[in-house]
Every structure is written in structure tokens, then in C-alpha cells.
């Protein structure tokens, strides 16, 4: 997709069927926000709704609001709304805890199921540059079950799936490169080898079409603060294929964190744990009502998306934004030290584009100062030492996320122009851009 003038982009915005969705968000004047893949923008409805919960439900009705305002139902109620975005059924997905905690639950459950049917299967396979928390949790589970975690480059995974593999654990959209796994194809390959497939949807839920049932996935987790716009540290979600929750019901199998709200009758206050049926057993502690409320506001935005064409329309715009950005950056910044690491084929990428640069941190800080807000991800220094065939693993990356709910074509145009100016002028070389905060 090539548009040679800013006017072309303004014309695309004027004709965009999703354009009105931007008005549902608070976007600071002058900001080009391309970091919704790390933290979604604030929905306009959120502040008033959270204040209502604080002043009326908590301030006036106090503890009565667990029943009167339905606080106790938030995990399932918000879960059902997210389920519609990821191809899950009603009552099959709950909002609870963090992505890391939920991954621990489902990975432990998967290994427990496999240890009963395939005790010789003692390998967890994942992608080498999967998001670190996923790998850290998998390391813990591997130690707990006496298993081995094997990390492979993406193109080596298929040939590794064998009889000794218990679980294939992947993130649908790679957080560094934006590469999109074919969930259905990879799940089929895992099942053919006897393995279970666990999917992290943190970088895909709300940005690309997801069909957990269509792919016949086994378990899935995801976060609420990226494309779902639930706010910093928003609660995460967890899904299990009904065939697994039904088996867990029959065999009275537990997920490892048997907290009180995952009990079959939590307000009986019994001293012995008895798991709730279905997905409810994956709830653990008391939900954070204020955080759940903010997340529900973010998820409710997608009701307007359905009226504007649904996830398919979002995907069309996401691809168009990515194609435009890649084309403009490569045209304007040729010979300036950038290398595209995101798949050029739109069918193979999520809703972001990443470029490698040897001084990526400084370049991004210079862009942010100019109002173009993307982010930076450091490379894996071990990749170069061990001779990795994928050079992107060791590269420092500039990441640009495209949230079709509020990103405009002119935003993409402006970002490419500012990137060109930062690189051509050498503005990024200023020493102040080398200073790093705790969050990079």
C-alpha cells in the first residue's frame, strides 16, 4: 500500500468507517500514540464510571454492592464480553489475576492432564523470544514437574514436535517482531504429536481476529491493558477448552492456586477446598473491583466496533496502517540504519511493525520528545554469542503499534516523517536520549 502525499492519508481518514471510534478515547493533543500494544489509551467513559463505583457503589452502598451492584459477578461478566472477541463461548472465560498467574494455572493444569495420559511426555516447547514472563513461568513449571523447557526459533518448532512433547506454549503475536502464528495450524501440529496447545493472546486480543474454538486450542491467557484498553495493570483473562474443564470436573482435578473464589461454594467458608465447576475453578482471589470496572469500560468499546464491521473491519484497517507505515519508513529512511524485522506479508503479522537500529533506545526517546510515542525493546545478547540464525533476536528494536480503534492514517504518515527527521538530523545522538529510566 503506497500513498505519496499527506492528503492521501487525510482522504483515507475521512472515508474510514472506524473513524468515529477515536472519539471514544482520550488522546492528548499533538500526540501520535503508537504504543497501544503496550498500554491502550484511556476510554472517555472510564473515569466517570470508576468515579461512580467509588462514590456510589463503594461510598454509599458499601459492602452491599457485592450483591446490589453485581461486583461478585465481574470475573464472569467481563469474561463473557472478552470471550466474544476471541472465539470462546459464554461461561468459558473469566477475568482474574495477571497473565503470569493465569499462565501458571493453565500450564500446571495441562501438565497434570498430560502426566496422567502420557507420563513419558516431559517437554514443554516454546519460542525462544516468547515474552519473558511466559518463559519464566514455564521454567518454574518444568522444575515442578521434572520436565524440560526447550526454546526454539519459530521455524524450528514444527520439526521438534514429537512424542516426548507435553505442551506447546506460544504467544499468538510475537511481542518483539509482531510475527503472527497460525493458531489453527500450530494447534493441529501439536495435537498430532499428542501435545496440548496453550496460547498467550496478550498481543492479539482486541487487535486481530482470534478463534479459540475454531483452532481447537486447549488453553489461553491474555492481558487487559493492551488492545483491550483496561488501564495500567488491568486484570488478565483465562480460558480453557470445555473438554478440559469437563474432565477436570469428572476427575476433581484442580488448578494449583485453589483460592476461595474458585471454591464451589465460597460463602460456605468450608475448611476443605472443593473446586467450582467449569472455568470458575480458575478464579483465585477476590477481584479488584475498580480495576475490573476500568477493564469493562475498555471492553465495552467493542460494542461500537461491532456496529462498524467488527473484528474483520479492525483487521482490514490494521493491515492498511501497517502496510502504509512500512512503505513510508522504508521510502523515507532508506540507508539510515533501519532494518524491518516484522513480516512484510500482512497475513503473517499482528498489529505492529518493528525496526531494528543499533541505537534504538536513543532514536525512540527522540521520537517521544517530538510527540511520536512508540517503544523500545532490547535485544537478547546471548543470541549473537550462540550463533542464532535469526539476527532479530539480538537486535534492539523500535516498536510501533497500530490500534485501529484510534490510530489514524495521518498519524502513521506523521510518525514516518518524524522518524526520518530524527535520523537525518542526527537529533537522536544527543546525550540526554541515552539516559534510561527504570521502564524502557
The predicted structure's pLDDT at residue 21:
98
Instruction: Report the alpha-carbon distance of residue 130 to residue 200 in Å, rounded.
Output: 10
The predicted structure's pLDDT at residue 240:
98
DSSP states along 296-355: HHHHHHHHHHHHTTHHHHHHHHHHHHHHHHHHHHHHHSTTSS-EE-S-SSGGGB-SEEEE
The predicted structure's pLDDT at residue 1:
56
For the segment 29-84, what is each residue's pLDDT rounded down to a tens digit? 999 999 999 999 999 999 999 999 999 999 999 999 999 999 999 999 999 999 99
Q: Which residues of 122-148 are buried (b: 16+ CB within 10 A; e: fewer)?
A: bbbbbbbbbbebbbebbebbbeebebe
Mean pLDDT of 378-387: 72
The predicted structure's pLDDT at residue 3:
56
Domains and CATH numbers, the chain: 6-44+310-434 (3.90.1150.10), 53-298 (3.40.640.10)
Pick the closest to residue 321 from 222, 418, 413, 195 (CA basis): 413
Instruction: Report the alpha-carbon distance of residue 201 to residue 219 in Å, rounded.
Output: 11
Q: Which pTM does this prediction carry? A: 0.96
Mean pLDDT of 122-131: 97
Q: Is the pLDDT score of 409 beyond 90?
A: yes
The predicted structure's pLDDT at residue 382:
73
Max Cα distance, the chain (Å): 69
Percent pLDDT > 70 in the chain is 98
The predicted structure's pLDDT at residue 145:
98
The predicted structure's pLDDT at residue 381:
73
> How far from 66 is each of 80, 170, 281, 288, 296, CA to CA, in Å?
19, 36, 20, 12, 16
For the segment 218-237, what is each residue's pLDDT rounded down to a tens digit? 999 999 999 999 999 999 99
Scanning 155-211, the segments in alpha helix (DSSP H) are 157-160, 183-192
Helix axes 132-145, 99-117, angle to 10 degrees: 40
Percent pLDDT > 90 in the chain is 94
Chain center to CA of 138: 18
Identify the band that residue 390 occupies on the pLDDT scale cut at 50, 70 and 90.
confident
Active-site annotation, residues: 131, 200, 225-226, 399
> How many of the other CB atoms lie within 10 Å of CB of 235?
26
The predicted structure's pLDDT at residue 380:
82
For the segment 159-211, what is each residue's pLDDT rounded down to a tens digit? 999 999 999 999 999 999 999 999 999 999 999 999 999 999 999 999 999 99
Amino acid at each position: 500500500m503506497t500513498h505519496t502525499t499527506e492528503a492521501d492519508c487525510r482522504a483515507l481518514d475521512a472515508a474510514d468507517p472506524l473513524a468515529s471510534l477515536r472519539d471514544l478515547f482520550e488522546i492528548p493533543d499533538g500526540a501520535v500514540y503508537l504504543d497501544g500494544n503496550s498500554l491502550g489509551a484511556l476510554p472517555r467513559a472510564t473515569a466517570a464510571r470508576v468515579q461512580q463505583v467509588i462514590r456510589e457503589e463503594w461510598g454509599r452502598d458499601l459492602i452491599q454492592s457485592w450483591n446490589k451492584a453485581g461486583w461478585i459477578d465481574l470475573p464472569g461478566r467481563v469474561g463473557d464480553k472478552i470471550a466474544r472477541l476471541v472465539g470462546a463461548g459464554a461461561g468459558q472465560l473469566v477475568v482474574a489475576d495477571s497473565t503470569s498467574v493465569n499462565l501458571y494455572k493453565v500450564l500446571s493444569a495441562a501438565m497434570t492432564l498430560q502426566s496422567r495420559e502420557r507420563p513419558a511426555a516431559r517437554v514443554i516447547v516454546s519460542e525462544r523470544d516468547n515474552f519473558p514472563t511466559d518463559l519464566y513461568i514455564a521454567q518454574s513449571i518444568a522444575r515442578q514437574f521434572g520436565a524440560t523447557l526447550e526454546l526454539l526459533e519459530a521455524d524450528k518448532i514444527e520439526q521438534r514436535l514429537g512424542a516426548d512433547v507435553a505442551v506447546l506454549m506460544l504467544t499468538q503475536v510475537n511481542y518483539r517482531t509482531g510475527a503472527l502464528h497460525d493458531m489453527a495450524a500450530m494447534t493441529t501440529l501439536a495435537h498430532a504429536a499428542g501435545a496440548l496447545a496453550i496460547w498467550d493472546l496478550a498481543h492479539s486480543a482486541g487487535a486481530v481476529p482470534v478463534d479459540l474454538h475454531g483452532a481447537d486450542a486447549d488453553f489461553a491467557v491474555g492481558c487487559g491493558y493492551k488492545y483491550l484498553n483496561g488501564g495500567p495493570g488491568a486484570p488478565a483473562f483465562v480460558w480453557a477448552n470445555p473438554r478440559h474443564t469437563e474432565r477436570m470436573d469428572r476427575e476433581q482435578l484442580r488448578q494449583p492456586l485453589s483460592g476461595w473464589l474458585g471454591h464451589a461454594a465460597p460463602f460456605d467458608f468450608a475448611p476443605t477446598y472443593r473446586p467450582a465447576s467449569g472455568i470458575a475453578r480458575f478464579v483465585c482471589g477476590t477481584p479488584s473491583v475498580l480495576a475490573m470496572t476500568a477493564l469493562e469500560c475498555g471492553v465495552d468499546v467493542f460494542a461500537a466496533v461491532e456496529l462498524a464491521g467488527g473484528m474483520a473491519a479492525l483487521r482490514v484497517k490494521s493491515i492498511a496502517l501497517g502496510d502504509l507505515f512500512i512503505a513510508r519508513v522504508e521510502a523515507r529512511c532508506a540507508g539510515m540504519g533501519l532494518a524491518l524485522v516484522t513480516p512484510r506479508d500482512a497475513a503473517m503479522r499482528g498489529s505492529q511493525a518493528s525496526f531494528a537500529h543499533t541505537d534504538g533506545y536513543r532514536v525512540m526517546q527522540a521520537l517521544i520528545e517530538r510527540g511520536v510515542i512508540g517503544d523500545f525493546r532490547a535485544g537478547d545478547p546471548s543470541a549473537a554469542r550462540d550463533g542464532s540464525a535469526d539476527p532479530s533476536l539480538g537486535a534492539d528494536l523500535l516498536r510501533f503499534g497500530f490500534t485501529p480503534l484510534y490510530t489514524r492514517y495521518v498519524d502513521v504518515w506523521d510518525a514516518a516523517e518524524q522518524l526520518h527527521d530524527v535520523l537525518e538530523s542526527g537529533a537522536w545522538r544527543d546525550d540526554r536520549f541515552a539516559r534510561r529510566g527504570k521502564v524502557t
